[in-house]
Amino acid sequence: MKRTVSFLLTLIMIFTLAGCSESGNSVSDGAEAVIEGERSYDTTGRYLLSLKTNEAVIDDVSFDCYEGANDTNNLVFYEIFVGSFADSDGDKIGDLRGIIEKMDYLNDGDPKSGESLGIEGIWLSPIFKSPSYHKYDVTDYYTIDESFGTMEDLKELVKCCHERGVKIILDLVINHTGAQNEWFAKFQSAHRHEDTSDEYYDFYSYGDSIKQGNRVFYPISSSDDFYEGNFSGDMPELNFDCEAVREAVLDIAKFYLNDVGVDGFRFDAAKYVYYGETASNVDFWNWYMGELKKIKPDIYCVAEVWDSDSLTQEYSAAVNCFDFSMSQADGMIATAAKLGDVNQYNSYVEKYLNVVKSKNPDNTIVPFISNHDMDRAAGYMTLASGYAKTAANLYILGPGSPFIYYGEEIGMKGSRGSSNTDANRRLRMRWREGEMTADPVGATFEDSKQTNGTVLSQFTDGDSLYNYYKRLIMIRKANPEFYKGEYKAIQLPGTKMGCFTMTYNNSTVTVFQNTGIAPVELDLSTVEGINVSKITDYIGIADATLDGTLLTVGEQTTVIMR
Ligand SMILES: [Ca+2]
Ligand SMILES: [Ca+2]
């Protein structure tokens, strides 16, 4: 469906101001192509954008909002840790119906309403029957854990997502199962009886000692054999040399693609399938993705290969992979966001994107700051420092499919801390006082450290991180080149400000990103490889002006030009 009304025009038409507002400063009165921006929010949190240049230019400053949901790659995803997100039945455990109830928060189906975050895809943490709160130890792949709901609830959530143009992918944990899985009971029984003809005898990886190289094995009780369990004794590892196992894991995916209608998967522990054997793993994922693409040609999958780029990129031949080197406190995004050199960041993005494309042109990069296995970003990139916003600028306004970890958009905190528990990284979503799940089992993070408020408190605050994320996603959608375009890093000598272009169908968007705490002036006539005449948007702590060829980008601010 083609949107015919321009993005900008619509926003101006709904210009019914109330509540708080911030406005860009008008600079250089009388100069050609001066830009002035007003960003406002009405009492419901509606985002209003008005960009003004001189009248000769303004007619060109309009956008068709790009509906990226038809893209296989390049969508803005949102990771939901299901048990901590939204509770629908009062037991304080997040569930699938809770997500359905919060769909308007995530995406209300109207790209121009300005009333939802606008994410385009959802990754659900594991939802299959399991004894743990995190559910990475699956008891039964065909049953939704009863604390999360039912298969019918999942189908309704999928329908609800698709009605809004949102993709939904499931966390698929197949390297290992839970110890309570009946497959494991049958495997153990076969070994106790030394019945090598039993169809489950080879179902899991086993050996005759407790340790082989770096692989960890556990004894099978009443047997001389040992089973592989690199993560834990409760997570026995399947044997992918067993044809029946390959069939079983294919059947699971088939069921959720065909019968439930999900759009793809996030593959847990992808490099552990064959422990330490990269070539065998890549072969496996190539085979698996090939089979899944036969079922659903436009499937979107992304794998967890938590390792160095040089290893992870090998898997890019088979499947999209998260870019772990971009994440966490010492990662590429945080480094550049915290007064770092954006030229270096852009060079990295270009180089790594090219590597991924050379491995498989259908795959792309998957930038993110944090996920359920990492300390939350707001702890080391505070809202007060502006880093939370510069980091978001860097990875949301760029190529690939950025993944936002739930609560990142409101600056939720949570770190392992001295109690060394991942539960602290998976705390309850802070909707508002009185409307939150319980924290996961074992969480010790003090509530008083959550100083950035709730969804409710941020909703009507025009300067809030929530409204900032919403605006970033709107800007991304207003520029289809972010989804479809070829990325090119433009080196700017003598400044840490970064520049890149993205070009699609002979249309180019040029982006300048200043993560420093001082404005940067740049004579555009000295920059090779760009061809721009006007600012079409900006987002950041400050604003931007263009006076002739002199571009001034305010502190911690990103500018979009055409
Ligand atoms: Ca519940
Ligand atoms: Ca394994």
SS3 state of residue 379: helix
Ligand nearest to the CA of 147: 1
Residue 190 has pLDDT above 50, yes or no: yes
Q: Which helix or strand (DSSP H or E) is residue 560 part of?
A: strand 557-561
Q: Could you tell me the distance, in angstroms and rounded to a whole number, from the CA of residue 228 to the centre of ligand 2?
A: 7
* Segment 475-506, tens digit of pLDDT: 898 888 999 899 999 999 899 999 999 999 89
pLDDT at residue 211, as a whole number: 83
Residue 122 has pLDDT above 70, yes or no: yes
Q: Could you tell me the distance, in angstroms and rounded to a whole number, from the CA of residue 275 to the centre of ligand 2?
A: 5
Q: Could you tell me the distance, in angstroms and rounded to a whole number, from the CA of residue 436 to the centre of ligand 1?
A: 10
Residue by residue, DSSP assigns 507-554 as EEEEEEEE-SSS-EEEEGGG-TT-----EEEEEESS-EEEETTEEEE-
Distance CA 405, CA 291 (A): 29
- Active site amino acids: 268, 304
Distance CA 319, CA 287 (A): 11
Q: Could you tell me the distance, in angstroms and rounded to a whole number, from the CA of residue 117 to the centre of ligand 2?
A: 37
For the record, the structure tokens of 201 come out as: 């005898």
What band does 166 get if pLDDT is binned at 50, 70 and 90? very high
pLDDT at residue 421, as a whole number: 97
pLDDT at residue 152, as a whole number: 98
- For the CA atoms of the chain, what is the radius of gyration? 25
Distance CA 388, CA 337 (A): 8
pLDDT at residue 11, as a whole number: 27
Residue 365 has pLDDT above 90, yes or no: yes
pLDDT at residue 536, as a whole number: 85
Distances (CA, A) of 414 to 29, 83, 426, 439, 448: 46, 16, 7, 11, 11
Q: What is the pTM of this model?
A: 0.90
For residue 526, how many other CB atoms are within 10 A of its CB?
10
* Segment 289-310, tens digit of pLDDT: 999 999 999 999 999 999 999 9
Average confidence (pLDDT) over 329-347: 98
Ligand nearest to the CA of 284: 2
Residues 387, 394: contact at Cβ < 8 Å?
no
Average confidence (pLDDT) over 517-532: 96
Plot region of 557 (φ>0 → left; ψ -120 to 50 → alpha; else → beta): beta
